[in-house]
Every structure is written in structure tokens, then in C-alpha cells.
Amino acid sequence: MKPAYDLIVVGGGMAGATLAAALSGQGLKLALVEAAEPRVEALPNYDDRAIALARGSQRIFEALDLWPELARHATPIRRIHVSEEGGFGFTRLDAQEEGVAALGQVVTARDLGAVLLRRLSALEDLDLFAPARVRWIAMEAESVRVGLEEGRELSATLLVAADGGRSLVRRQLCFEVHRREYRQSAVIANVTPSKPHREVAFERFTRNGPLALLPLHEERCALVWTVADEQREEVLAWDDATFLRNLQRRFGWRLGRFQRVGKRAVHPLSQSWVGDSVKGRAVLVGNAAHTLHPVAGQGFNLGIRDVAALAEVVVEAQRRGEDPGSEAVLRRYEQWRRNDRRGVALATDSLVRLFSNRWPPLRLGRNLGLVGLELCPPARHGLARAAMGLAGRLPRLARGVPL
């Protein structure tokens, strides 16, 4: 019997929802299963965290015609300033130097979620099952069957797991996962400094771990402050004045005095990745395939490139009359994505480790490295292209070309 759907996406977070938006209108019958109610307040990761969208990710949203709505909530990043607490070296990446209007854009996950959910509810070729939780999966030669918690059963040619870092699909289908625990957590909050941020994003390596400040509307900045797990409770218990004083000590005075801090939230940090993102008729995208330390703000940027590449491979297969869930088609996706996934994971992890080490000769080396970068435009250019998500073989959507 022919499966009811061409494609079932499990998970309506940023990756799953973007994939559904990308594949809609391509002659495919789509289903999306999301465990939470399809409201921004109900989805776990559509929270207050700020997402730095790379230039390449912005182009994907432009190609999907989602950017005009997102742009209203976005703050451009004109410059990135990288420094180390107590060190002499620093470097800057500059949009003007790169010939672009902005290196990236900052949106809150909440605003991004709202835009994506609005689009999902308008897609006529998508059946949205939410709230509905996937319980079991049965892989067959010609199709894949998915059982939902309330007893309903769906079938498709291809199953896409976009169900996040604790992916049930990944677990049930026994994908091999590698994991690295950092014993660190990210404390996130909005802070208001006394000086205007001038659309500069700051990355500062401190004795506890990296600290990022991203520009937001109304002269606020989104703080992502990495602290050791042992310190987490203490940091959360600080009153506002103590929090701001300690932040000031770590960050310095480039933004003047920190005056206000909003609600704080905490996220435990780890890195995970799969060696192979394809099994039978199932494929992993986004956090289901990899989670990263947020030091370089690359998690979703990597995930949306998975989405854009998979959408392209599936649509091409469909146009050629191939089975989009076949091993041959899915291998094209896996081969395409493998290097980007490995490269970004390695670079992010190296950054965390390199800057976590307090050994004096290494500190000196790091600072000389930052000075070297500042003095070497070609090296800075390479770094800026990677940070903008414009390095390597780009999917059509990331080049701003529709599917």
C-alpha cells in the first residue's frame, strides 16, 4: 500500500518548522508531528534566548519569503569584537570590510518561533499533528510507519527527525551518538548597558568560560554567560546588583556600566554529534544530528543548512522521479553535510578548550593569535566567511535561490 505521506517531520522547533516551510509547494504530501501545542509559549525552545542568525541563514529565510516578517524583530550585527579578560589581544570582524550590510542578525527564539508557527498554520499541503508525540517507529523496505501516543499511525516514504537534542527517533533507530560534557551551563538574560551597543556583538573569553553579548532592540544586549556547573546555583541566586557587578568585572567597560538585568534562565551545555545522519528511510537534521556549545552561536545556523540541503536533495529527487526516501538519495544529503557538521563542531569545541586553559604560555599564544588576526585581513576574511555561514558548498536556499 502506498504510504499516506511523502514525508513526516518529527519536531516543530526551528529546524522542523523551517523544513516544512521549505518543502511546501513542491508537490509533496507533508506531515509534521510536534509534541507541544503549536503556540510559541508552549514550545520548549521558543524562549527568550537570542539567536545570532548568520548571513547565510538570513538568505534562507529570504528565499522562503519569511525574512520581511522576521526583519521587523531583527537587530543587525555590523561588527564582532573578540577579546580575552585580562589579555592584551583583540580582533574585530567588520561588515563593511566584508562588503555586506551586516554580518548577521539577532532575533529572539520567541519571535522566530512566532513567525515560523504562523507560516506552518498557513501551509495547505501540510497536516500538522500537534500536540502529538511520536511513540514508536517501524522501518520497512518501501515505507516508514510512525505511531503517535494517542494511538494514531502515520506512514511515509521518508522520516525526518527534527526532534532536538534528546531525539526519540535517533534513540529508537539506534543511531550512534558521540557526546562531550562541558560541565558548564549558559546563563542567559537581557542586560542594559549605559553606552549604545552600536550593533556590535561582543565575544569575550573569561576565566570561567566564554561570554557573549549580542545587540538587541532598545539598546539592550542579550547575554550568554558560560559558568562552571558548580557555580550555576550561586550565579542564579545573586541579586541583580551582585549579578551586574560580577558581569562588569568579567566583561569590562566597553559598553559603559551595566544598569539593568532581566529574567535569568539557565541551559546545561554539551556537544553531541552523530557519525552518520541516515538510517534506512530516516534522516536527522538540526539538534537531533548535533548540539553545540553556544560560544560561537552556530547551533541553529548549522541546523538550517541541514534543512536547506535536505530540502534541495529531496526536491531534486522528486523532480527526477526518484524515491526521496531511498538510500541512494539520502546518502547525497549525508555526504554533503558531513564536512560542515564536523568542521563546525571541531572549531566550536576547539574554541571552548583553547580559551578555557589558564596555562600562561597558552594565554600569551592566544593573545598573540588575536593580535595576528587583527593585523591579517585575509585570515579575518576567512573567519568572517565561516561565521557568516558562507563557506563551503552552499545549498540553493543559502545562496538566496528558491528550490
Ligand X SMILES: Cc1cc2nc3c(=O)[nH]c(=O)nc-3n(C[C@H](O)[C@H](O)[C@H](O)COP(=O)(O)OP(=O)(O)OC[C@H]3O[C@@H](n4cnc5c(N)ncnc54)[C@H](O)[C@@H]3O)c2cc1C
**309 counts as binding ligand X under rule CB under 6 A:** no
Q: For residue 32, give the nearest of 13, 16, 9, 4 by alpha carbon.
A: 9
Of 3, 56, 303, 395, which one interacts with ligand X (CB under 6 A)? Answer: 303
**298 counts as binding ligand X under rule CB under 6 A:** yes
> What is each CA distance from 182 to 176, 223, 252, in whole angstroms?
20, 19, 25
At 72 the three-state DSSP class reads coil
Q: Could you give the CA distance from residue 313 to residue 41 in angstroms, rounded to a whole number?
A: 33
Q: Are 270 and 182 in contact (CB under 8 A)?
A: yes
Of 128, 224, 282, 329, which one interacts with ligand X (CB under 6 A)? Answer: 224
Q: Could you give the CA distance from residue 371 to residue 48 in angstroms, rounded to a whole number?
A: 34
**216 counts as binding ligand X under rule CB under 6 A:** no
**299 counts as binding ligand X under rule CB under 6 A:** yes
**74 counts as binding ligand X under rule CB under 6 A:** no
Between 151 and 378, name the residue whose CB sits nearer to ligand X.
Answer: 151
Of 6, 9, 16, 329, which one interacts with ligand X (CB under 6 A)? Answer: 16
Instruction: Tell me the DSSP string of 369-389.
Output: HHHHHHH-HHHHHHHHHHHTT
- The nearest distance, CB 179 to ligand X, in angstroms, is 16
Q: Could you give the CA distance from residue 65 to residue 313 in angstroms, rounded to a whole number?
A: 20
Between 75 and 287, name the residue whose CB sits nearer to ligand X.
Answer: 287
Q: Could you give the CA distance from residue 202 to residue 164 in angstroms, rounded to a whole number?
A: 28
Between 24 and 301, name the residue whose CB sits nearer to ligand X.
Answer: 301
Instruction: Choose the binding region for ligand X from 28-36, 197-205, 329-337, 350-358 (rule: CB under 6 A).
Output: 28-36
Between 130 and 318, name the residue whose CB sits nearer to ligand X.
Answer: 130
Q: Could you give the CA distance from residue 143 to residue 141 in angstroms, rounded to a whole number?
A: 6
Between 32 and 63, name the residue whose CB sits nearer to ligand X.
Answer: 32
The distance of Cα 160 from the centroid of its chain, to the nearest Å, equals 17
Q: For residue 31, give the nearest of 43, 46, 41, 20 by alpha carbon.
A: 20
**11 counts as binding ligand X under rule CB under 6 A:** yes
Between 223 and 315, name the residue whose CB sits nearer to ligand X.
Answer: 223
SS3 content of the chain, % helix, strand, coil (to 5): 40, 30, 30
In the chain the first and final C-alpha atoms are separated, in Å, by: 30
**324 counts as binding ligand X under rule CB under 6 A:** no
**389 counts as binding ligand X under rule CB under 6 A:** no
**213 counts as binding ligand X under rule CB under 6 A:** no
Between 175 and 318, name the residue whose CB sits nearer to ligand X.
Answer: 175
Q: Which residues contact 328 (CB under 8 A, 6 or more apart)?
A: 322
**22 counts as binding ligand X under rule CB under 6 A:** no
Instruction: Tell me the DSSP string of 299-329.
Output: HHHHHHHHHHHHHHHHHHHHHTT--TTSHHH
- The nearest distance, CB 340 to ligand X, in angstroms, is 13
Kind plus residue range of the DSSP H or E element containing 123:
none
Of 164, 209, 215, 395, which one interacts with ligand X (CB under 6 A)? Answer: 164
Between 89 and 297, name the residue whose CB sits nearer to ligand X.
Answer: 297
- The nearest distance, CB 370 to ligand X, in angstroms, is 21
**373 counts as binding ligand X under rule CB under 6 A:** no
**388 counts as binding ligand X under rule CB under 6 A:** no
Between 100 and 266, name the residue whose CB sits nearer to ligand X.
Answer: 266
And the C-alpha cell for 132? 502529538
Q: Which string of x and - marks every residue 243-282 that binds ligand X (by CB under 6 A)?
A: ------------------------x---------------
Kind plus residue range of the DSSP H or E element containing 337:
helix 327-356
- The nearest distance, CB 353 to ligand X, in angstroms, is 19
Of 30, 103, 117, 134, which one interacts with ligand X (CB under 6 A)? Answer: 134
State the residues that interact with ligand X by CB under 6 A: 10-16, 33-36, 43-45, 49, 51-52, 133-134, 162-165, 168, 186, 188, 224, 267, 286-287, 294, 297-301, 303
